[in-house]
Structure 1
């Protein structure tokens, strides 16, 4: 049975997120020089985070595509025969082809979509979501979550600018909206390792 695009994409993204958490746990043990011990609580928290964030990001990408379509229709002549050649009597009017609509990339919309997702609202949305959800799962009070937002948000966003601008450019340019969270999760394997380490210290 074929799964709906949202379920298929979110499950694939969740699997990649879980793999990154396992890698992060192993790296942490290696860095500390201690035997690896699977942290089931942290793994479950990160899995829940991925389960919540996946559908939100799926619909976010669809909204971006509706708001800033990456393609537009343009016209071009299907033949070099023009009205000038008709007036000269070189060809008949029936041989002149009307301009044909073709799909071309809308680079201005692609830039606006990339900027909104990577530099402004997308970065704020995902970082806020991560800090709030992880705070709730760890049983923190709202005042503590507010402190995390003030102290952790901008360092995380700043670090994200070292990773996501290129990944987001390729995702918004070459991938359909319903497949973007899978591509971004693949690109974000290293990034999610970083987030797992952040989640472990929150």
Structure 2
């Protein structure tokens, strides 16, 4: 059975997130010079976080693409002579509703080009402003709930942990987001970002372990 783009993207992103958590646990044991013991609770918490964050980010990326389409259609004029009619006669006849006369002519065609202003808006919204706030808030709230923290403590984590995490994210995501918003199809964007963010998810796993 073929999975939908939504399901396949979320499952692949979840798999990558789980791998990053296991790597983070091994790195932590190596750093502390202690035997590696698999933390099932932390893994389950990160699994739930990925299961929630994947769909949220898929719909977020879809909204960004609808709001700031990366492509636009523009009209472009081209010149041709009657010597070209053997090769272009069919399309030119459609343009002119009949065969063009002799000599130099122009015709208008519609082409798709990148909308660089929308790409910038999409990039800025995703990794510099709302996207960074959305994902960091979601991470801290979900992990806090899974760890059984009271809401005042979750609020304290948001005040103390959010901005350091966002600041660190600026070292990773601006470049990754530029390539994802410019060249990656929207239905595969969270998979691409999860691959780019393998090291970032290791960092988040280490943050989750200390919360």
What secondary structure sits across from 1:99 in the alignment? strand
Report the alpha carbon displacement of residue 106 of structure 1 after superposing the two structures with TM.
0.2
1:179 — aligned with what? 188
Give the Cα–Cα distance (whole angstroms) in 2 for the partners of residues 96 and 43 of structure 1: 67
Richer in strand (by share):
2
Q: Which residue of 1 aligns with 2:89?
A: none
1:85 is aligned to none
Map of 2:125 onto structure 1: 116
Shift of 1:40: 0.3
Number of the residue aligned with 1:87: none
Superposition pairs of residues 156-195 of structure 1, within 5 angstroms: 156-195=165-204
Deviations 1:102-158 (A, max 9, x none): 100000000000000010000000000000000000000000000000000000000
* Gapped regions of structure 1 (runs ≥ 5): 82-90
Matches within 5 A, 1:90-169: 92=101, 96-169=105-178
Q: Which residue number in structure 1 is paired with residue 37 of structure 2?
A: 37
Q: Deviation string for 1:173-193 (max 9, x for gaps)? A: 001111100000000000000
Q: Distance in 1 between matches of 2:78 and 2:152?
A: 65
- TM-score using structure 2 length: 0.89
Q: In structure 2, do the counterparts of structure 1 residues 75 and 30 end up closer, same or farther at CA, with 3 Å as the change threshold?
A: same
1:5 Cα deviation (Å)? 0.8
Q: Pick from 191, 195, 209 the counterpart of residue 200 of structure 1.
A: 209
Q: How many residues align?
A: 193
Distance 1:171 1:96 in 2: 41
For residues 181 and 49 of structure 2, what CA distance do their matches in structure 1 show? 23
Task: Point out where structure 2 has 5 or more consecutive residues left out of the alignment.
Answer: 82-99
User: Secondary structure of the residue that 2:78 maps to in structure 1?
Assistant: coil
Give RMSD over aligned pairs.
1.4
Q: Which residue of 2 aligns with 1:73?
A: 73
Report how far residue 76 of structure 1 moved: 1.5
SS in 2 for 1:72: strand
